[in-house]
Structure formats: C-alpha cells, structure tokens
Amino acid sequence: AGPTTGPGEAEEGLPALYTSTEVELLPQPVDYEASLARYRKTAEMTVTGEWMSAFVARASFNLGFMYQFGLGVSQDLHMAKLHYHRCREVDPSGVHTPVTMVLLALGAHMF
C-alpha cells in the first residue's frame, strides 16, 4: 500500500484539480429535447425486474412534470396526469406523497 495523505495533501501524480477543496459550479444549458427522449424511452419500458420500478416511475414522474409545466413540450395537463398515474402504477411501494400532491394541484389547476 502506498503512503497516505492528509486533507489538502496531493498524492504524487494527481493534478491539482483533484486535490482542491474549492468546488466551482458552472451553469449548464438545459436540453429539453434530450431529456424528453430519455424519459420517454425509460418510462415506456416494461418492468421486468423489481429493480427497474423506481427508474421507470421516476421517468414517468419527470415526463408528467414536463407536460404539466410545458417544459420542452406544449403544456398538456391530461398527459401530465397520465404520466403521474403511471408513476404510481409501476412502483406501488414507492414514494407516493409527491405524486399525490402534484395530482391534487393538477386537479385544482384543471378546473
């Protein structure tokens, strides 16, 4: 085993970038088209294993959110509702409070 280093000490050969304690956050452009394509592809998957449920549910929720607020798509409250329900359907043991809250808000918005 090699020598250990303390906080702030660089191991030999590592660039300073990896040893700096300062983190710089840079704004990234939003690519709604790519997000929409990836969420759709994932949300449309058939759940063949329990491990997939959370991923498919999250993609469905994100699609619902995009449709509800018109992010990268035309606002479509009915499509939003459909995706939120799909979220609960594919992951019945998942976190339902956020989904229930957005469905209530969506229902109020639709009237």
* Of the candidates 38, 50, 34, 36, the residue with the CA atom closest to the CA atom of residue 92: 50
Q: Is residue 37 part of a domain?
A: yes
Q: Is residue 97 part of a domain?
A: yes
- Tell me how far apart the alpha carbons of residues 47 and 41 are, in angstroms, rounded to a whole number: 12
Does 86 map to a domain?
yes
Instruction: Report if residue 24 sits inside a domain.
Output: no
Residue 27 lies inside a defined structural domain of this protein: no
Q: For residue 94, what are the domain limits?
A: 32-110
pTM for this structure?
0.74
What CA–CA distance (Å, rounded) separates 58 from 38?
12
Name the nearest CA neighbour of 31 among 19, 23, 39. 39
Domain count, the chain: 1
Q: What is the pLDDT of residue 22?
A: 75
In a domain, 8, yes or no: no
Average pLDDT across each block of 10 residues of the chain; the chain has 111 residues. List them in order: 50 55 84 97 95 96 96 96 95 87 87 70
**Does residue 93 lie in a domain region?**
yes
**Residue 81 belongs to some domain of the structure:** yes
Give me the pLDDT at residue 13, please: 57
